[in-house]
């Protein structure tokens, strides 16, 4: 009898247990399914939201295009190497314009100097090198945080505040046009009163580079907007500090998507070439030279 | 022999401090102090104190730190894939070294993270901006999310699951706080046959699950270099596979070295068969890598673009020839040693350890030859050639990082046995068990897996916008963190499977 009772009890218990189990199981499955559903819902909602955003953007762009009936400009630079005398004016003007720190002649600083505009001395001439603002830039592809990006007008920009200083973009740039701030930036005390207020100084530990003097473009755009007109080609022709300074007018700046601009006309010249086009980077700095090969063939030793 | 020693605490000298141990701890603390002082200098004056400089202006942007990121991440890959292989193929003679393999693969991602952080120009920004803005399109994303956090959590989970039985064993033999710690660690492990069965099943499926991730993660490390046409000497499809192979080589090499040291400390507790098997695996990997190197050399010399040929020439005959030939010679010698052991059927522990050391030297020099020459000589413009002079600060920081690893190892060795107890005959594994289905467990496991994977998808999608041209931000900030949490949660499904106890054990035992 006793044994039977215990057996019966046990059976009851086990059924109770099973019920509890079942409830728990259902609860578990339910919660997990709900979670999975929720997350997939969120993801689809996100996708929907972003699509909406993009639609809005596209509409906005369309409106803008309709209003102005014109495409976004694509900024480019033409440098005539046959005119370049290698005076170095562009490099200095760039340093002053963009608050680029001084390195001095300290031996430690060898290889740490920053020059957004570098003039390379090749065998038969000088080669001024700003950032090439590639249309297909390798540097923006690799940035882990999106601190460097190409904007709608084709200028490769750098968000100095976001940069973490991994130097991946510096390594990825085939033209070595990116500069890392290796140490705390230094200027002579008296120099600081001549800082350009339009350009932020960069802290140590970020990568910086030529911006095609984007701040000057921005100012010009504001002015043009106030006067309710379009940017004229003459206004931007010598807009960047380097082009403004060049005594032989070897550097010309402008909108390459506008066929009437002097930049796009010069780009059609038989003397025109771009450096290492086979890399597919599509640089927007175009060089003019009678003998282009002598500038790009052999490296310095 | 070994089963005579019944007490694992006695055998592994747990919680007992010897003079030698104290000496090593003090040494590692000294090393950490050196590292901290070096890093302080770097924080204060910037990376000007390192030997790194602007490429094109006479220096390299990536140097020793990056070499060691690859090195540590590679070791982690090697350790984890060894323990995965043991689980999948059931290589029983390698069981004694699984714990050390997992332990290596836990420490080395931490060290790799430290190397990554010491390479950054701005550490605080890196810690905030990487989780916030990380881009999937950057090859570094794979390194941060999978190679480092993935390896770390996968090996942590492996480690936790495989140590539960030992923790249970130890909790029975200790008293006081340690007993509580071991009990928490064991987390419900009772030493029943079902527990063991669950463990082996969970580890098997987990191994299958993480195997593709392991290969992908190690490949992304290779993609960091292999995807740039702008760097001659780097742009190669071989980069990813050779990273995977080299990671395996250096990881297994390190396991052999550790196994040898442990054998000296704990008196032949690891059978030399295990070291021999590892040696055989190492031999096959080494010859594969030699083959890859030959292919690489042939490709970069036969009709390669001019710049690639120049870089190859400089590596083989020029400035970097010492590094290159050290790589070649150490790989060939270690292959010959291991091949002799393989073909003769003898067990040569000593020479195997030497070849393990040699392959790790080769792993370092090969990575150095990969990272540096392209930055000093691989220019498309006529820049002056650069050079890389390693400075004391870099070495100090790396000493600090390595000492940190050593310190963790030393502390751990006093808390936990470095060899699984069952393989030393200090605990027994029950063989018989009854197969039972537990819907709760299955559904919970699958649910966790599902949640993890959906979190991964959500994180991936919402941090992407990868293929739009004017990409800037993730769709939602910190989306990359969601992806990493998804990876971790999906890994946790193995823990869920193992931890949920048998529901019917009590009733079945009372029925008997």
Alpha-carbon gap: B492 to the closest alpha carbon of chain A (Å) = 14
- Pair A212, A75: CB distance under 8 Å: yes
**What does the angle CA B120 – CA B121 – CA B124 come to, to the nearest 5 degrees?**
80
Instruction: Please check whether residue A126 touches B, CB under 8 A.
Output: no
Q: Do A46 and B129 touch (CB under 8 A)?
A: no
CA distances, B121 to each of A34, B376, B400 (Å):
43, 20, 19
Asked whether this complex has an ipTM greater than 0.90, the answer is no
| Beta-carbon contacts of residue B455 (< 8 Å; ≥ 6 apart) | A39, B482, B483, B485, B486, B489, B490
Q: Do A24 and B448 touch (CB under 8 A)?
A: no
Read off the pTM.
Answer: 0.86
Tokens of residue A97, six digits: 């314009």
Instruction: Please check whether residue B57 touches A, CB under 8 A.
Output: yes
Instruction: Please check whether residue A45 touches B, CB under 8 A.
Output: no
Q: Please report residues of A whose CB lies closer than 8 A to that of B65.
A: none
Q: Considering just the CA atoms, what is the radius of gyration of chain A in Å?
A: 30
Interface of B with A in 247-266 (CB under 8 A): none
For residue A137, the model assigns a pLDDT of 92
Q: Please report residues of B whose CB lies closer than 8 A to that of A36.
A: 447, 450-451, 454
- Pair A96, A187: CB distance under 8 Å: no
Instruction: Please check whether residue A100 touches B, CB under 8 A.
Output: no
In this model, does residue A3 exceed pLDDT 50?
no
Sign of the dihedral defined by the CA atoms of residues B345, B349, B351, B357, in that order: positive
For residue A250, the model assigns a pLDDT of 93
Query: Which residue, among B51, B52, B57, would best test binding to A if mutated, counting the most A CBs under 10 Å from its CB?
Result: B57
Q: Do A206 and B122 touch (CB under 8 A)?
A: yes
Q: Virtual CA dihedral for B442, B448, B451, B455, nearest 10 degrees?
A: -150
- B454 closest CB neighbour out of A40, A123, A301: A40
- B461 closest CB neighbour out of A43, A109, A150: A43
Instruction: Please check whether residue A92 touches B, CB under 8 A.
Output: no
Which residues in chain B land under pLDDT 50?
A: 1-5, 505-512
Which long-range CB contacts under 8 A does B448-452 form with residues at least 24 apart? B448/A32, B448/B489, B448/B490, B448/B492, B448/B493, B448/B496, B449/B490, B449/B493, B450/A32, B450/A36, B451/A32, B451/A35, B451/A36, B451/A39, B451/B489, B451/B490, B452/B486, B452/B487, B452/B488, B452/B489, B452/B490, B452/B491, B452/B492, B452/B493
For residue B12, the model assigns a pLDDT of 77
* DSSP at A261: S
- A29 closest CB neighbour out of B129, B447, B458: B447
Interface of B with A in 105-124 (CB under 8 A): 119-122
| Tens digit of each residue's pLDDT (9 = 90 or more) over B212-271 | 888 888 898 999 999 888 888 899 999 999 999 999 999 999 999 999 998 888 877 788
Residue A94 and residue A86: Cα distance in Å, rounded? Answer: 15
Give the confidence band of A2 by pLDDT, cuts at 50, 70, 90: very low
Instruction: Please check whether residue A31 touches B, CB under 8 A.
Output: yes
Instruction: Give me the total of CB pairs closer than 8 Å, taking one residue from chain A and one from chain B.
Output: 240
Q: Do A166 and B57 touch (CB under 8 A)?
A: no
- B461 closest CB neighbour out of A10, A46, A298: A46
For residue A70, the model assigns a pLDDT of 58
Using alpha carbons, select from A173, A195, A181 the residue that is nearest to residue A129.
A173
Higher pLDDT, A21 or B376: B376
Closest residue, chain A, to B45 (C-alpha): A183
CA B278 to chain centre: 16
Q: Please report residues of A whose CB lies closer than 8 A to that of B70.
A: none
Q: Virtual CA dihedral for B249, B253, B256, B261, nearest 10 degrees?
A: -160
Alpha helices (H) along B172-305? 177-186, 193-226, 239-265, 272-302
Alpha-carbon gap: A39 to the closest alpha carbon of chain B (Å) = 6
What CATH number was assigned to the domain covering residues B2-425+441-502?
1.20.1630.10
Closest residue, chain B, to A15 (C-alpha): B507
For residue B371, the model assigns a pLDDT of 94
Q: Do B48 and A109 touch (CB under 8 A)?
A: yes
- A182 closest CB neighbour out of B47, B386, B447: B47
- A112 closest CB neighbour out of B54, B224, B448: B54
Instruction: Please check whether residue B383 touches A, CB under 8 A.
Output: yes
Instruction: Please check whether residue A15 touches B, CB under 8 A.
Output: no
Closest residue, chain A, to B127 (C-alpha): A164
Q: Do B228 and A181 touch (CB under 8 A)?
A: no
Task: With H, G, I as helix, E, B as strand and everything else as coil, classify residue A273.
Answer: strand
CA B325 to chain centre: 26
- A141 closest CB neighbour out of B54, B137, B446: B137
For residue B165, the model assigns a pLDDT of 86
């Amino acid at each position: 009898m006793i044994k039977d009772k215990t057996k019966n009890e046990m059976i009851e218990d086990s059924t109770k247990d099973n019920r509890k189990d079942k409830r728990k199981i259902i609860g578990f499955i339910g919660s997990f399914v709900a979670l999975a559903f929720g997350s997939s819902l969120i993801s689809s909602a996100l996708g929907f939201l972003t699509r909406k955003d993009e639609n809005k953007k596209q509409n906005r762009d369309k409106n803008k295009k309709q209003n102005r009936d014109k495409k976004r400009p694509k900024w480019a630079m033409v440098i005539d190497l046959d005119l370049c005398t290698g005076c170095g004016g562009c490099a200095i003007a760039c340093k002053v314009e963009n608050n680029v720190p001084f390195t001095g002649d300290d031996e430690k600083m060898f290889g740490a100097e920053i020059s957004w505009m570098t003039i390379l001395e090749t065998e038969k001439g000088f080669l001024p090198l700003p950032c090439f603002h590639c249309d297909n830039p390798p540097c923006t592809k690799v940035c882990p945080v999106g601190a460097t990006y190409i904007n709608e007008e084709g200028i490769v920009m750098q968000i100095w505040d976001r940069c973490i200083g991994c130097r991946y973009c510096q390594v990825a740039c085939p033209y070595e046009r990116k500069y890392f701030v290796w140490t705390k930036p230094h200027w002579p005390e008296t120099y600081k009163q001549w800082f350009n207020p339009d350009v932020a100084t960069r802290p140590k530990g970020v990568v910086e580079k030529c911006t095609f003097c984007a701040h000057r473009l921005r100012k010009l755009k504001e002015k043009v907007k106030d006067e309710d007109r379009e940017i004229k080609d003459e206004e931007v022709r010598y807009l960047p500090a380097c082009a403004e300074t060049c005594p032989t007018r070897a550097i010309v700046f402008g909108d390459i998507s506008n066929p009437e601009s002097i930049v796009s006309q010069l780009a059609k010249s038989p003397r025109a070439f771009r450096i290492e086009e086979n890399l597919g980077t599509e640089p927007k700095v175009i060089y003019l030279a009678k003998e282009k090969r002598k500038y790009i063939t052999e490296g310095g030793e | 022999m070994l089963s005579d020693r019944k007490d694992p605490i006695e055998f592994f000298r747990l919680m007992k401090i010897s003079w030698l141990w104290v000496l090593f701890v003090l040494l590692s603390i000294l090393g950490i102090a050196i590292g901290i002082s070096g890093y302080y200098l770097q924080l204060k004056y910037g990376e000007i104190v390192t030997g790194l400089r602007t490429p094109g202006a006479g220096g390299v942007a990536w140097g020793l730190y990056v070499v060691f990121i690859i090195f540590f991440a590679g070791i982690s890959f090697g350790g984890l894939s060894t323990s995965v292989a043991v689980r999948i193929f059931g290589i029983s003679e390698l069981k004694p070294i699984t714990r050390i393999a997992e332990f290596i693969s836990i420490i080395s991602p931490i060290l790799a993270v430290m190397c990554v952080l010491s390479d950054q120009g701005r550490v605080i920004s890196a810690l905030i901006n990487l989780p916030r803005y990380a881009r999937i399109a950057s090859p570094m994303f794979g390194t941060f999310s999978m190679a480092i956090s993935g390896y770390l959590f996968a090996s942590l989970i492996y480690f936790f699951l495989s140590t539960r039985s030992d923790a249970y064993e130890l909790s029975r033999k200790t008293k006081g706080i340690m007993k509580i710690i071991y009990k928490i660690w064991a987390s419900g492990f009772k030493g029943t046959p079902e527990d063991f069965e669950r463990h082996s099943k969970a580890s098997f499926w987990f191994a299958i699950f993480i195997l593709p991730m392991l290969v992908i993660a190690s490949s992304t490390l290779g993609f960091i270099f292999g995807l740039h046409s702008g760097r001659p000497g780097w742009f190669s499809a071989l980069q990813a596979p050779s990273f995977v192979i080299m990671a395996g080589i250096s990881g297994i090499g390190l396991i052999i070295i550790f196994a040898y040291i442990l054998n000296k400390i704990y008196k032949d507790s690891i059978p030399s068969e295990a070291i021999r098997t590892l040696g055989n695996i190492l031999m096959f990997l080494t010859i594969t890598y030699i083959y890859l190197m030959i292919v690489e050399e042939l490709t970069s010399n036969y009709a390669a673009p001019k710049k690639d040929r120049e870089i190859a020439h400089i590596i083989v005959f020029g400035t970097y020839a010492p590094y290159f030939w050290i790589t070649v010679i150490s790989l060939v010698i270690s292959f010959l040693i291991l091949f002799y052991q393989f073909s003769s059927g003898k067990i040569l522990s000593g020479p195997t350890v030497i070849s393990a050391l040699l392959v790790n030297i080769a792993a370092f020099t090969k990575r150095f030859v990969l990272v540096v020459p392209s930055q000093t000589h691989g220019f498309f413009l006529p820049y002056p050639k650069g050079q890389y002079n390693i400075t004391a600060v870099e070495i100090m920081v790396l000493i600090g990082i390595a000492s940190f690893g050593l310190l963790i190892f030393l502390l751990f060795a006093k808390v936990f046995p470095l060899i699984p107890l069952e393989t030393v005959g200090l605990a027994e594994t029950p063989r018989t068990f009854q197969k039972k289905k537990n819907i709760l467990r299955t559904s919970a496991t699958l649910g966790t897996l599902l949640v993890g994977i959906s979190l991964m998808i959500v994180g991936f999608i919402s941090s992407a916008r990868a293929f739009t041209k004017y990409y800037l931000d993730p769709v939602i900030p910190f989306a990359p963190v969601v992806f990493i949490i998804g990876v971790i949660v999906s890994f946790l499904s193995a823990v869920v499977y193992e931890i949920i106890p048998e529901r019917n054990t009590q009733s079945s035992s009372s029925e008997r």
